[in-house]
Amino acid sequence: MTVRTVGIDAMAFHGPAHYLDMADLAVARGVDPAKYIEGLGQMAMAVPTPCEDTVSLAIAAGDKALARFEIDPSEIGMLAVGTETGVDHSKPVATYVHEHLGLATNCRSVETKHACLGGSAGLTAAMDWIATGRARGRKALVIAADIARYGLHTPGEPTQGAGAIALVVSERPRLLEYNPDIYGDYTRQVMDFWRPLYSRYAFTDGHYSIACYLEALAGAWADAASKPNAARQVPIAGLDACFYHVPFVKMAKKAHRRHWEAEFGRTLSMDDAALLEQVAASFAERVSPWLELNATVGNIYTGSLFLALMDYLRKVEEAREGRTVSVFAYGSGCGASLLFARVARGAATQGHRLDPRQDLSLRRRLDVAEYEAIMRASESADANNGQALDPSTWRLGAGVYYLGTQEHMRQYGQYDR
């Protein structure tokens, strides 16, 4: 049996307990704060302690999604964790999450990887699993979890962040219904961003990576536009909102311009003043309003796209129900996907369940010295048979945390403050 309606039924975000204000970092680095705040569009970035790793973030996000949308763990038949900061070259993050969430033993569990495309890859796999009828009425839990870390005093330092977004995928979605017929894909081998097996930190060619991102967007759009009936459904003018991968907030502005150029078949220059004004107005209407969470959390790799989508869905009014949005995911290396979806009827009644602002308001603001101490401590957190990690050291609340590695095995435990 083929299922025609598939989409996002539930959503939740979980991030670290601490953050760093970008103005504080700028002053400490001898940089004009405007370079980070206006140049990148970032106001703050989440800072994970040594006890908060990809696994613990994913567990917390998954637990929130199930609890806040009243979904029993027994309803989950597939678990996919998309990440580019996994904790093992073989063992998937999903197995740890599966255990701590109490999912059934006949639940399919995988880790999906393609840099920042990993979360979207898990989502499309989950949708296909449901659409083909193999889910047999069950739901899928997809979690995009990552820690973007570049190190102290590096060019990438102001584009760090951490967090996890959990999505429950269902054939009766309460938030967003995906269009199964109109989609675009793009893949090409490039070396714009990569992390060798021997390196803790990624290597990147920043300007080249932006160029690859924009080329992939144009390629994915062209593929989507080639599908039957696409001409009636993909034009920007008919979209209520456009969502893009957001490694830093200002990247979304570059992406929307390229999206517009791809659709209208021309590259804009400074001589196209009137057209540039149209693009700017479109950005202000369809993209900019949904970037608040990204600006206060920072880069979370696979989850950055969904953070923008969450910002939109938490604000959705009844008048927007039934409207179409575009969802573009990019992963370095590179791969991209462009999907289209419709806001589900009744979505406006669900905003209180997924709004993360209360959780974000509880975060503790670090000074730069505290931030640097956490970064240095994280360097040795994975040392085998190292000192056991104690969540109280970092003033963490109750939850499941990483406690260190013993006999080459990662240790996790419930901490009750």
Taking only the tens of pLDDT, the chain with its 417 residues reads 667 799 999 999 999 999 999 999 999 999 999 999 999 999 999 999 999 999 999 999 999 999 999 999 999 999 999 999 999 999 999 999 999 999 999 999 999 999 999 999 999 999 999 999 999 999 999 999 999 999 999 999 999 999 999 999 999 999 999 999 999 999 999 999 999 999 988 999 999 999 999 999 999 999 999 999 898 889 999 999 999 999 999 999 999 999 999 999 999 988 899 999 999 999 999 999 999 999 999 999 999 999 999 999 999 999 999 999 999 999 999 999 999 999 999 999 999 999 999 999 999 999 999 999 999 999 999 999 888 999 999 999 999 999 999 999 999 999 997
Q: Which domains does the chain have, with CATH numbers?
A: 7-415 (3.40.47.10)
Per-residue model confidence (pLDDT) at position 219: 98
Give the list of residues 6+ apart from residue 255 with CB closer than 8 angstroms, or none. Answer: 213, 214, 217, 244, 245, 328
Question: Which tokens sit at 145?
Answer: 């979890």
Instruction: For the full predicted model, state whether its pTM sits above 0.95.
Output: yes
Per-residue model confidence (pLDDT) at position 387: 84
Per-residue model confidence (pLDDT) at position 192: 97
Rounded to an integer, what distance in angstroms lies between the CA atom of residue 342 and that of residue 167?
A: 16
Query: Which residues carry out catalysis?
Result: 84, 116, 245
> Could you tell me which of 71, 147, 143, 81 has the C-alpha nearest to residue 110?
81
Cβ pair 9, 168 in contact under 8 A: yes
DSSP state of 175: S
Per-residue model confidence (pLDDT) at position 1: 61
| Cα–Cα–Cα angle for 266, 267, 273, rounded to 5 degrees | 100
